[in-house]
Amino acid sequence: GCVLVVSVIEQLAQWHNSTVKAAVERLCDYIPGKYQIIHHIIDKEMNADVVCHSLRLCKQDPGQPLCHLYSPPKLHHLCELMHPSTFIFLPLQKSFMGFSRVCAFPPLANLCEKIKYVLRNKLPFEDFDGDKFSTFPTLRGYHWRGRDCDDKNTTVYPGRRPDNWDAKSDSNCNGIWGVDPKDGIPYEEKFCKGADSKGVVLLGDSAGAHFHIPPEWMTVMQMSAKSFANLPMAFSDELDWPQFSEITGFLNSTIGGWTDSLYLRLRKRNHCNHRDLQNISQNGIVYFPINMAPYLSFSLARNQLLDNPAIVVYATIGNDVCNGERDTLAHMTTPKEMLSNVVQALQYLDSHLPNGSHVILTGLVDGRFLWDNLHDRYHPLGQLNKDVTYSQLYSFLDCLQVSPCSGWLTPNETLRNLTSERALQLSNVLKEIARSEKFANFDIFYMDFPLRQTAEEWRKMGGEPWQLIEPVDGFHPSQIAAALGTGITWQKALHEWPQVLGKENPFNDQIEAIFKDQGGH
């Protein structure tokens, strides 16, 4: 974190030909709220690694390598750190360390408590009736789950079967309620009865949550006050953007590319599916541990007796082989563990999903695509001075033991191949489960993660493969990749599993007219 902030400050000073103090003030003007940063030590023209080690925000543990993002500093800079004059900054260390403990910063303390709650429970913070749906967008609110239309009534929420055909009120929040004065038939009964309505639920990792750090936050050539306008919202959503994601996206993308999602296509196919979505994903999680059942029981909002069926997509595309451990292979999920844990979780789902549901198991990605297409390109932090490649970034994160995937983000080709080999083994486990296991309340399907098809489609559109990867972290699928992947998944389902998608509702035009009459859309 320190290296990132100091890098941006140094580059701002260079780009605007200003002092470091002026660059700090400029950055503070950009960021919502006012924060003070000590700037004196940066004036010594040291790189960010040296500055952060001198402030004791970064350290080298005994027996561990010295982690650095930039090329090692010149000898005279290291000597300056040992000079007595440098120690005037040691009293400032406590200030820095206090600031680095963000949740102790009074203006952020309340927000931190909220974020801790949602991280712990994967549920909306603002949920007054306790039905797991919210009228608030972030903090696991309606960016993650369909928007509640009555947060004071626990029997009103997206995805439920209509109460008395919603003649008097909208019990399932799909916008269809009331009675047609011409014949006295409730609109919900007229338009949605027998329409095979169903919701979509994602059990995913950070890719499913759509992790994204805006590159303009650290690319000084593009940086302005507008760059950080979305910062509070982004942090309240854990740096995830599920509202634009491949499975549950529903808003027009503001982070590049365009939004196309399984939910949007299901809603277009049948407007009765309006708002019936849940994105139960989390950064860095392995979704089928031994105790998955209690986790699902707390996070999944589906009543087997009262709610519509659901399409549940399981898509942890890399976390079973990705970790930041030095002995990364030893910490990967084994095929035996995968089989046991997935079957146990599916058994739980079978006891809780309404009859007529569907489960889609998505295979793991071949992450060799990342190194092959990014390693020699410049990271946003390195674009100004051409001094930081993705290879350097990956090595820095691996040295710190915080790499999102030590097995793939490495110059070691043998390790990359072994990681992909394990990913293929685990995908084959999922494929065999879909082929052989049977459940009472849902059928089950398997599909490979469509990375190859996505890259081919993007090339046909004139794009480059590296544009399918998030530029800041160099790891997650980009907005373009998410949108293209949706189309590929939809076509496969349409041709091979049409029963999953349900039939097209012939009354969609009339439903759209109701939405407009009610002032909605």
Number of domains in the chain: 2
- Asked if the structure places residue 518 within a domain, the reply is no
Whether 42 maps to a domain, the answer reads yes
Q: Specify the higher pLDDT residue, 421 or 125.
A: 421
CATH code for position 243: 3.40.50.1110
Instruction: With cut-offs at 50, 70 and 90, classify the pLDDT of residue 78.
Output: very low
The verdict on residue 240 lying in a domain is: yes
Can you tell me the mean pLDDT for 191-220?
A: 96
Structural domain harbouring 451? 199-504
- Three-class DSSP category at 160: strand
- CA 44 vs CA 47, 90, 393: distances in Å: 9, 16, 24
466 in a domain, yes or no? yes
User: What length does the chain have?
Assistant: 521
Name the H helices within 155-280. Answer: 187-192, 206-209, 231-236, 262-269
Helices (H), ranges, 122-246: 187-192, 206-209, 231-236
Residue 248, pLDDT score: 98
98 domain-assigned: no
Element (H, E) at 120: helix 106-121
pLDDT value of position 287:
40
* Average pLDDT over the chain, rounded to an integer: 88
Round to whole Å and give the CA distance between 293 and 285.
Answer: 15
User: Is the residue at 396 inside a domain?
Assistant: yes
Using the Cα atoms of residue 15, residue 19, residue 20 and residue 26 in order, give the sign of their dihedral: negative
Please, where are the H alpha helices in 133-261?
187-192, 206-209, 231-236
pTM > 0.85? yes
Q: Look at residue 87 in the predicted model and tell me its pLDDT.
A: 33
Residues that are catalytic: 206
- State how far the Cα of 136 lies from the Cα of 117, in Å rounded to an integer: 15
Distances (CA, A) of 244 to 39, 406, 495: 38, 28, 25
142 belongs to a structural domain: no
**280 beta partners:** 203
User: 294 in a domain, yes or no?
Assistant: yes
pLDDT mean over 314-326: 93
Helix (H) or strand (E) holding 445: strand 442-447
Strands 442-447 and 357-362: parallel
Q: Give the side-chain half-sphere CA count within 13 A for 250.
A: 21
Kindly report, residue by residue over 453-474, the tens digit of the pLDDT.
999 999 999 999 999 999 999 9
